[in-house]
Amino acid sequence: MGLIESLLTLNVVDEITGTKGKGNKEAVAQGTANIVNGFFTGMGGCAMIAQSFVNLSAGSRARLSGIIAALTILMIILFGAPLIERVPMAALVGVMIMVAIGTFEWISLRIINKMPRHDVAVGILVALITIWLHNLALAVLIGVIISALVFAWESAKRIRARKYTDEQGSDTMRFMALYSLVPLLLLWTNLTYRMIRRK
C-alpha cells in the first residue's frame, strides 16, 4: 500500500511540475529504507500526497524541500515533543480540515456524472471505509481489490465468439479473448494475451 501511495504521489507531482520521476528508483529507495528501519524497531513509511501537495503549493520544486521537511519533523520529534503536546487537538483538526479543503479537487464534483459509475462507487466506498474504520491503508486495499474485480468483469465482456464455415464445409467456432493483466506491484507492466481456440 505504501508503494502504491508513493507512486501515486510521484504521478501527481509529475503532473503539477511537468517533470518525469523515476518510479523504480523510488521503489528501491523506499523498500531499502523500510527494511533498514525495521532493524531499529521503526515503523515503515511512504510518500504522502497531502504533504507533497502542500509543499508544492508553497512553491518548492527541488529535493531540498523534502529534505528540510524530513529534518524538521525529526527535530520536532526529538526535541519539540513537550511543546507539541501543548497544542490543542482542536487546532490540529482545524489545520487538517484546511489542508483537506485546499487539496481537494473541487472541479471533480462537476464531472462526476461523466465518470464511470464503478469508479465513483469505489471512490465513495473508500471514503466511507476510511471514515468508519479510521484506516486509510485498509480502505485503499479494499478499493484496489474491488477495482481489480470490476476490471476483470469488464475484460470478461470482451470475449466474443464467431461462427464460420471453412473450406471443407464444417462449422467452426472461434473464441477470441483479450486479457489485460495489470500486476499490483508493477504498475507499468501491461501484458496482453490473445487466445484463439477452435472446435
What are the residue ranges spanned by the domains of the chain? Answer: 115-154, 160-198
Q: pLDDT confidence of 32, banded at 50, 70, 90?
A: very high
Mean pLDDT, all residues of the chain: 76
Query: b vs e for 106-129, b when ≥16 Cβ sit within 10 Å of the residue's Cβ?
Result: eeeeeeeeeeeeeeeebeeebeeb
Span 190-194, mean pLDDT? 33
Q: What is the pTM of this model?
A: 0.51
**24-38, 48-62, 71-85, 132-146 — which is least confidently predicted?**
48-62
Rounded to 5 degrees, what angle do the CA atoms 110, 150, 132 make? 65
